[in-house]
Chains A and B, each alone.
Chain A
C-alpha cells in the first residue's frame, strides 16, 4: 500500500485545485443527502415521536352541541371494547373562529381550557416556554404561534369569542399533539382559571364539549371505529355532534411541508451527485491525458495498472470519506436552521441530535458512489502502453471538420477562436449543458414554489373553494340573505356550499361539499379527471379515496347518512390536500337523497374585491339579520394567517436552492475552466508569444463556455416550463394534488436565466484570469 500512497500524494499535489473543487462538491452532496435523511428520519418523525412521548394514543373524539346524556357511562359504552384505554376531558369549544395568527388570521376550531389541561394523562400538554411571573389574565398559546414569529411571551394576545374580545397576556407556549397546528383544524388555548370561568359563565352550556383521547386495540380500524361511535351515539342523543380525528391524519397534516422540503433536498442531492459523476469522469480523463508520460514512466519502472488505479481510488476514496464526513458534520450544523423553518409549520420543538442511521447511510452512499464512478473511470489506465505513453500518448486529433474557419467566420477574431475552442471541447460542453440545464430546472421549480406558495398563493391547492367571504345564515332567513347578497353591487357569484360527512360502507367517511350548481365554483381545477356532477345520481370524489378503494370514473359509490343510503355514479375525481384526501362533491338535489335541507343553515360563499369590502359585507349582514347569521368568515383575512407557514418555507427554499444552484454552477465552472487552462497552457503560451494579450485569452476562454450555457438555458427553460407542473404533480401526489396547474412566473424565470448567463460569464472571466499567470517564455523553456 505504501507505493500506492506515494502515488496518491503525487496525484493530489498535481491536481490540488481539481481535488479541492471535487471535494467541495462531495461535501455539498453529502450535506444535502444528510440533511434530507435527517429531515426524513429525524425531523419528520419528530411529530410521531412527540405524539408517543405525549401519549397521544390513536386519535380523539369531540362531542359538541347537546351533551345531554353524554356522561361517563355513555362514553365508556361508546368506547366499547375496541379501545385499549381512553381519557375524557371537558373543554369549551368554539366552531370556526377567526383568530390572529402570523401575518393575519386563521379560521380554526378553538378549545378553551383551564390549567387542568396540564394534568391530562393522555394527549398531554407540555410547556415549551413560560414566564411564571405572569399570574393573571394569561394565556398559553400553541407553540406554533411562537415559531411563526406571531407572538412572544408577555405580548397581549387579543381574540374574539362569540362577539367578546379577550385581551390576555401570553404566559407561555405549549406543545400538544392534536391542538397545536393550523393544518389540523383545532387550536387549544389554555387560560387562567378566572378567565376560563368568565368565558364559561358567559357562553354557558352551548360552548361545552367533551374531548376523548383514545388508544385502539390492535386490529381495530380507525375509520370504522369512528363511524361506529357516531352510529352508537344516536342511541344516547340524536343532537350530539361528534368529530373524530386520527393521529395519522394529524401527523400527516403537521409534516406536510417537512416532507416537501425533504423531497426537494433529495432532488437537489441527486443533482449534485449527477454533477459529481460528470466532474469525476472529466477529472480522471483529463488526469490520464495530461499525465500520459508520467503514467508511461511509472509503468516502465514497474508499477502495474492495478497500482496506479489503486492510488487514484485511494485519492478519490479519501476525498469521498473526508468530504462525506465534513458534509454530514455541516448538515448537523445547518439542520437546526432548516428545522426552524419546518417547525414553523409542524409546531413541534425539534432538537438536533446525532442520528447514526442518517450518518452511516450518507457516508456509505457518498463513498460508495465516488468509488464506483472512480473504478469505472480509471479502467482505461490498463490500456496505456508504456512506450506509447512515454511518447506522450497517441495524439487523437481526428477533426472531421475545421469548424469556424478564421478566413470565413462572420465573428471577430476573439469570438471566432472562442467558438473554435468550444467545438474542440465537446465533453466540456456536454457537462456544462446538462449542469446548467439541471440548475435552470431547479430555479424554475423554486420560482414556481415561491410564486404559488408565497408571492401569489395558489389557494385552491389548499382550499376546496376560494372566495371573498362566507356568510352562514339559518334556515329562517337563508333565502333573504341570499337575495340580499345577490342584490349587492360589491358582491358577485353568490353560491351556497354546505359540508357534511357522508359514510362509505361503515368503513370510511367523506367530507362532502354540497352546492346547487358546481359550475359556480371558482376553483374549476378541483376536478382533475372527468367532470363535475350534474344530475341527482352523480358525485365527484377525491382521487386518493378512489385509489384506496379501487374506484374510478364510471363506478358506483354507495354512501350512507344515518339510516339512509344512496348509490351515486362517479363522474369525476377531485384533488384535495385536506381531510386526508377524503372529500366529495354533490349537487344539492343529489344530496337530498340522504339529507333534508329544509332546516339546514346555508353558507353563502361570495366573491368581492378585497378584505375591506368583504368585511363590509359581513358587517352589513350581521347588522341586517342579527342572530340569523350563524357564522361569518372574511376569506381575505384568513389567507394571510393560513399562508404564513407556507410563505416562510417557500422563501427558505428560494434562498436555499438559489444558493446551492449558484454554488454548483460556480464550482463546475471553476473545475472545468481550471482543467481547461491547464490542458491548454501550451496553446496559451504560444498565443501570448505571437502577441495575444491576457485579456484576449481570458475573453476567448470565457466566451468559449458561453454557447453551451446559453443553449442550455434556452432549451431547459422551455423544457422546465412544460415539465414543471408534471414534476410538481408527481411531488405532491402523495398530498392529494394531481393536477396542480401552478403558475410559472415567466418574468422571474427570464430574470433567473439572464442571471445564470451573466453570473456564469463573469465568473468564467474571473476564473479565466488564471491565464495571466501563464508566461510565454516560461512555457517555452519548460517544454
Chain B
C-alpha cells in the first residue's frame, strides 16, 4: 500500500504568555492508503493537534508534511483550502453543519466546490446521504431540526461527497449516545471497507476497535502503534489485543 501522508520531524509549539508548550515533537509518520488509522492518547497528549496538522487545517511549527505527493507545509491558507476541498473530508465532534443550510445544501456546498456539474453532484449527494441512512424526508430539513446522530451522519456524507483521499474524524462519536455513535462508526467502517482511508482521533476504546492501525500519542510523540488487521465485528481477540496495547501505554 502506498503512503498518502508522510511527515518529517513534525513539531508544533504553542506560546502562551512567553511560556512555550511543545505539543508535537519530531513526529515521523506515514498514513497508508486504505487504512483506518486511529490516533489515541490521553487528554492534552496532542492527538487533535496532530490530526489538524496532518489535514492542513493547522500549520506545524517545524517539519514538513507530504500529502498525496504535495508538500502541504509550503502552501498558503487559500492553497490549503483548495487542497483540502479536493483531498480531505472532515467529521467533527460537534458536527459543524451550517445552520442556515438544509441537509442537502450542506452536502452540496462541499460537493459543488469541486465539481460544477450541479446535476451530477446533486445525484451523488443524494446517493451519499442514502448510504449513511439519511432518508429523503430529512434532506430539506435544517440541522437544528434533526437529531445529533443524523447530523453527524450528514457530516459524514459531506466529508465523503468529493471522494477524498483521506477522511479526518475528530471524536466523531464524542457527543453522541452509544446507539447513534455505533451508527456513525458503522457508516465510517462501511466506507473504509470500500477503500476509503480514514484517520480518526478518539479516546473511546469501542470506537478505536474499528481501526486497523492504532497510534498512541504520548507527550507529543508517537509512543507506539498497534496493528489490529481488518475489522471483524464482535471479534473478542481484537478487543483483547487493543486493551493489552493500551494497558501497556498506561491507559
Contact = CB atoms under 8 A, between A and B. Distances in A.
A686 B113 contact: no
B84 A690 contact: yes
Interface stretch (B86-94, B207-215, B221-229): B86-94
Interface in A691-719: 691-695
Nearest to A682: B96
A395 interface: yes
B23 to A, nearest CB: 11
A324 interface: no
A683 B100 contact: yes
Interface string B93-113: 010111111101100111011
A407 B108 contact: yes
A402 interface: yes
A420 interface: yes
Interface in A760-783: 772, 775-777, 780-781, 783
Interface string B29-69: 00000000000000000001000100001100000000000
A510 B77 CA distance: 79
Contacts of A780: 52, 57, 92, 96, 170
Contacts of B86: 691
A691 B81 contact: yes
Contact of B109 (A413, A424, A781): A413
Interface in A730-783: 772, 775-777, 780-781, 783
Nearest to A689: B90
B83 to A, nearest CB: 8
A691 B84 CA distance: 5
B98 A405 contact: no
B112 A413 contact: yes
B85 interface: yes
A129 to B, nearest CB: 64
B2 to A, nearest CB: 23
Contacts of B94: 783
A691 B82 contact: yes
What class of interface size applies to chain B in its complex with A? 35 or more
B235 interface: no
A519 interface: no
Interface string A523-567: 000000000000000000000000000000000000000000000
Given A407-B118, A686-B97, A777-B52, A397 B109 contact: no
Contact of A402 (B58, B96, B140, B158): B140
Contact of B78 (A397, A413, A693): A693
Contact of B108 (A406, A424, A772): A406
B90 A690 contact: yes
A695 B84 CA distance: 15
B180 interface: no
Contacts of A420: 100-101, 105
Contacts of A405: 102, 104-105
B11 to A, nearest CB: 16
29 contacts: A397-B100, A399-B100, A399-B142, A402-B102, A402-B142, A405-B102, A406-B104, A406-B108, A406-B112, A407-B122, A413-B109, A413-B113, A420-B101, A424-B100, A683-B98, A683-B99, A686-B96, A686-B98, A687-B98, A687-B109, A691-B81, A691-B82, A692-B85, A693-B82, A772-B77, A776-B57, A777-B58, A780-B170, A783-B94
| Cβ-closest 3 pairs across A and B | A691-B85, A407-B122, A406-B108
Interface of B: 48, 52, 57-58, 77-78, 81-82, 84-86, 88, 90, 92, 94, 96-102, 104-105, 108-110, 112-114, 116, 118, 122, 125, 140, 142, 144-145, 158, 170
Given A424-B100, A689-B90, 11 more contacts: A395-B144, A397-B99, A402-B142, A420-B101, A421-B100, A683-B98, A689-B57, A691-B114, A693-B82, A694-B78, A776-B57
Interface of A: 395, 397, 399, 402, 405-407, 409, 413, 417, 420-421, 424, 682-683, 685-695, 772, 775-777, 780-781, 783
